[in-house]
Chains A and B, each alone.
Chain A
Amino acid sequence: MDVSNTASTMNRRKFLKGTAVLGGSMVVGFNATGLLAAAADGTTATSSGFNPFVKIAADGIVTVVCKHFEMGQGTTTGLTTLVAEELDVAWDQVDVEFAPSHENYVNLAFGGQGTGGSTAIANSFMQYRQAGAAARDMLVRAAAAEWKVEAKEVALKDGMLTGSGKKASIGDFIEQAAKLEPLAEPPLKDAANFTLIGKNKLPRKDSVAKTTGKAMFAMDVKVPNMVYATILTSPRFGGVLKSFDIGDAAKVNGFVDAKALPNKAGVAVYAESTWASIKARRAITAEWDNAAADARGTAEMVSEYNEKLDADPVYDATGKGDLAETEATAKAAVKSVSADFHFPLLAHAPMEPVNCVIEPTEEGGIRVHDGCQFPMITHPTLAAITEIPPEKVEIVTYYAGGSFGRRANGNSDYHVQAVMAFLALGGKKAVKLVWTREDDLAGGYYRPMFAQRAHIGIGDDGKISAWGHRSVAQSIFKGGPMESMAVHNGVDHFSVEGIVDTPYQIPMSIGLTDYESPMPVLWWRSVGHSQSGYTMEVLMDMAAEAAGADPVEFRLAHLDESDDNQARFAGVLKLAAEKAGWDGKSAKGRGRGVAVHKSFGTYVAQVMDVSVNDKGAISIDKVTCAVDCGIAVNPDVVRAQMEGAIGYGLGAVMRNEITMKDGVVEQGNFPQYQPLRITDMPVVDVHIVPSDLAPSGVGEPGLPPAGPALANAIYAATGKRITKLPMANNGITFA
């Protein structure tokens, strides 16, 4: 089986490969100090001191090396667009492959190699353009030298060099160009001259492979001498393996062995096929030491959250020490709003359950086959566990079947499990770890449970005069590798983001208390915004009602549009309202709700239209969405991310929650954790604000407004205000 890590979808490249090898190739990239560098054929990340970002072969095919992984968000199309734009090559001439794990392929927003926080395009925007522009400049100079003309007399378009009456493919000049020094700062195009960036529409680079079954995911990897493994783990978080009995597992055809993981986190069940491993695992029983395990159920968790809401907050997120005073002021106002919010644990449930292959290499190292989101964590973590020098650890990255945050894990949890299984079996056989959907839903790393309480006072001017806010959450970042970036004065920023940094001009005081549990929690598409957007925008609707104001007008009244940030926030709100024909009214049996939120540098507003049928069930009919993400590199990808984030967010608020009884997760599989279905999906109409500002994220920002816009629409239609999620627990049914 072909396990190449290329994301290629083009037959042309395969056809011309021989030519490419014969003719060598030119590579342009960056060295360890971030300077542009170029080299000829045979260059690798480690051999030459710099990492290729763009490779050009003699057949004129350009391969863009994608430092980010592709989980569907469109990076293989986006980074390719940036190079193709500056290099001036034809779209079907550009191929893409995933970068190896190497420290020079850092995410400039993180300082390490990884994808997340909706940063892929934002941090790559200049870098990939520079790489393309440097290659272009070198090719033009090489042609000029050969043709004995000035460089400015050579043109490059659609991969063809012309000048002095001559015409040649860029592939004809790679040898000469590779000998030139790249410019330190190659000239970049003015936005006005873009022919690809911002244009409609470039076909996605992964479309053909993903519609023909040919796209390779880690789940599809098979290497020689490989066994399949599933892991029997503690039903409670924090349980430690005491002993196990293989029962009738050995009678399962294809069963190989069962071993305790060296870290006592479970029993690895090895077999000659995935199915045999799944079946054998069912026959095995284990004893767990539950001394350190969490045996609380959801009901106990909720009451502990509520107790913490009632108690004085431990941390002061606004740093003014005036929460009690602000709450008192708010409550004393003639018009006021008070509400408690509750948000459940959520699983990411990507379509491809997590998995990876650990393979021993001839050099005494390991090769990891994975849809790898955080090489910066996975690489050193596996090197440390195996005591293999980092340079002998390789990571081969494949398409990832979704992530929504799950594959980015500060503990590299599933890779650690896989390498433990690999070591337990002796380290000579390749091991493919496979999680079932049951493993995925019970496997922890959930979006934390959140509780919020707000007291809001409205002043005589009809605007918010005081907003006292309490948040209770299990911290995602405390104890993790990025704690110092996220936690200040005890406040995990991600527990209060979207509230503490709201663009609204509101006198606000915010207190925070942590909840603690051995149950691991994780960022889930849009992290803290996944619930703060809901809290903020439902509260703004409640406050607008208390003030007797139109929800759109009320929001705009709390924004000062002489400030750029607030102007962009107001801009998407006004655009969504205009496109939806907002007039503040809802027809009988219908409801309209609005919400606006800023996250990851991007502004998104949505107007949601719902209708109620004769049985009282809600139908989500239409979402009008406005987004300002700076320059939209690929507008159609931006639209797709808005559609997808809206759907992902709606499904969660409608009916998803992970619950526990005596510490054991109650949701077994999709029937108990129903994903959004096509029958639930509204029409989504996306409008992108034209912009010449640097691009910001699009993978996550579409999500935060979706839930509250729906809640506000349901309120408009039914008078039912939903502050405890999921909505299904409030007697809401969906048509």
Chain B
Amino acid sequence: MSMTIKINGESREVNADDDTPLLWVIRDELNLTGTKFGCGVASCGACTVHINGQPQRSCVTPISAVGDSEVTTIDVIDTPQAKAVQAAWQELDVVQCGYCQSGQIMSAIGLLSSNAKPNDEEIDSYMAGNACRCATYQRIRAAIHRASDLLEA
């Protein structure tokens, strides 16, 4: 069925059954491929987007549940936290294969938006749902601290 969703600052007409996960609407229909498919069961976080500014797993969010909410993806996000996180990720060369990093970054932005100065335990706890098979975790931790410093500066 046809419906309108608000994504990346635009209203977009999409045609999908109610149970279609937001992830597949974003990727296959809207061609926004920065958001990744990793597990389909909210267990890896590669599909993380922001819904009304909160990180959510788009692979288990049915399109019918999106309603009037504002969806933001890695492809356009440019809040101060986003800029700081991306700059820190680049400065420390966090990425390896890179496939999970859109989701890692969307979660890290969510963390810094709610906690400007997280410690290691807070980072680990917040980021535990984002899997990285390349195990870039040490650099993710360091980059979140660095992004926090960049935001403070």
Binding site for B on A (CB under 8 A): 1, 70-74, 201, 203-204, 206-217, 219-220, 222, 228, 253, 273-275, 278-279, 349-353, 399-404, 434, 436-437, 636, 640, 643-648, 651, 669-671, 675-679, 681, 683-684
Which of A70, A220, A434, A675 contacts B133 (CB under 8 A)?
Answer: A675
Complex Cα spacing A278 to B90, Å: 35
Within 8 A of A (CB), among B71-124: 73-75, 86, 89-90, 93-102, 105, 123-124
- CB neighbors of A among B1-60 (8 A): 16-17, 19-21, 24, 27-29, 31-41, 43-44, 46
What distance in Å separates the Cβ of A451 from its nearest Cβ neighbour in chain B? 27
B36 contacts A678, C-beta separation under 8 Å: no
Is B40 within 8 A of A213, CB to CB? no
Partner of A208 from B41, B90, B135 at Cβ < 8 Å: B90
Residues on the A chain within 8 Å of B65, using CB: none
**Quick one: which of A400, A651, A669 contacts B41, CB cutoff 8 A?**
A669
Q: Is the CB of A275 within 8 A of B97?
A: no
Inter-chain contact A273/B96, CB cutoff 8 Å:
no
**Alpha-carbon gap, A645 to B96, bound state (A):** 11
Task: Report chain B residues within 8 Å CB of A683.
Answer: 138
**A684 and B138 in contact, given A220-B33, A274-B28, A675-B133 (Cβ under 8 angstroms):** yes
Bound CA–CA A678/B137 (angstroms)? 5
Check if A646 sits within 8 Å of B135, measured CB to CB: yes
| Residues A675 and B134 in contact, CB atoms below 8 Å apart | no
Q: How far is the CA of A350 from the CA of B131 in the complex (A)?
A: 11
- Partner of A207 from B38, B90, B97, B133 at Cβ < 8 Å: B90
- The answer to whether A219 touches B133, judged by C-beta atoms less than 8 angstroms apart, is no
A643 and B41 form a contact (CB under 8 A): no
B139 touches A399 (CB 8 A): no
User: Of B20, B28, B105, which contacts A211 at CB under 8 A?
Assistant: B105
Cross-chain contact B135 with A201 (CB below 8 angstroms): no
Q: Which residues of B contact A675 (CB under 8 A)?
A: 44, 131-133
Helix, strand, loop or mixed for chain B's interface? loop
Can you identify 24 A-B contacts, CB atoms within 8 angstroms?
A71-B97, A72-B97, A207-B90, A211-B105, A212-B34, A214-B75, A222-B28, A273-B28, A275-B16, A350-B97, A351-B133, A436-B40, A437-B44, A640-B136, A643-B136, A643-B138, A644-B134, A648-B134, A670-B44, A670-B131, A677-B128, A678-B137, A679-B124, A683-B138
Max count, chain B CB within 10 A of own CB: residue among A253, A400, A678: A678
Asked if residues B127 and A678 are in contact (CB atoms below 8 Å), the reply is yes
Shortest distance from the beta carbon of B103 to any chain A beta carbon, whole Å: 9
B141 at the interface (CB under 8 A from A): yes
Which of A228, A636, A644 contacts B136, CB < 8 Å?
A644
User: Given A402-B133, A644-B136, A670-B41, A73 and B24 touching (CB < 8 A)?
Assistant: no
Q: What A residues does B139 contact at CB under 8 A?
A: 640, 643
Is the CB–CB distance between B36 and A351 below 8 Å? Answer: yes
- Please judge, given known A-B contacts A72-B98, A273-B29, A404-B133, whether A351 and B38 are in contact too, CB under 8 Å: yes
Cβ contact within 8 Å between B97 and A213: no
What are the 9 tightest A-B residue pairs by CB atom distance, in nearest-first order?
A213-B34, A647-B135, A401-B99, A210-B98, A72-B96, A72-B97, A213-B74, A220-B33, A681-B137
| A676 to B140 alpha-carbon distance, docked (Å) | 14
Binding site for A on B (CB under 8 A): 16-17, 19-21, 24, 27-29, 31-41, 43-44, 46, 73-75, 86, 89-90, 93-102, 105, 123-125, 127-128, 130-141
Q: CA–CA, A67 to B96, complex, Å?
A: 18
Q: Could you tell me the distance between the alpha carbons of A209 and B34 in the complex, rounded to whole angstroms?
A: 10
User: How far, in angstroms, from A482 to B75 measured CA to CA in the complex?
Assistant: 42
Smallest Cβ distance from A539 to chain B, in angstroms?
26
- In the complex with contacts A404-B133, A644-B134, A676-B135, A211-B97 CB distance below 8 A: no
Quick check: B133 and A636 within 8 Å, CB to CB?
no
Contact of B24 among A275, A399, A669 (CB under 8 A): A275
Give complex CA distance A625, B125 in Å.
Answer: 26
Contacts of B41 in A (CB 8 A): 437, 669-671
- Contact between chains at B98 and A206 (CB < 8 Å): yes
Query: Residue on A with the closest CB to B143?
Result: A211
Residues of A within 8 A of B31 (CB): 1, 222
Nearest to A217 among chain B residues (CB) is B99
In the complex, A207 Cα to B124 Cα: how many Å?
23
A271 CB to closest chain B CB (Å) equals 10
Assess the B93–A351 pair: CB atoms within 8 A.
no
**Which of A71, A201, A647 makes the CB contact (< 8 A) with B93?**
A201
Whether A203 touches B90, Cβ cut-off 8 Å, given contacts A212-B74, A274-B24, A404-B133, is: yes
Assembled-state Cα–Cα distance A213/B76 (Å): 9
Knowing A273-B24, A351-B99, A402-B133 touch, does A640 contact B93 (C-beta < 8 A)?
yes
Closest A residue by C-beta to B102:
A213
Quote the shortest CB–CB distance from A76 to chain B (angstroms). 11
Residues of the A chain whose Cβ atoms lie less than 8 Å from the Cβ of B95: 72, 204, 206-207, 210-211
Report Cα–Cα, A670/B102, bound state, in Å. Answer: 19
**Chain B, residue nearest A77 (CB):** B93
A222 to B39, CA, bound (A): 20
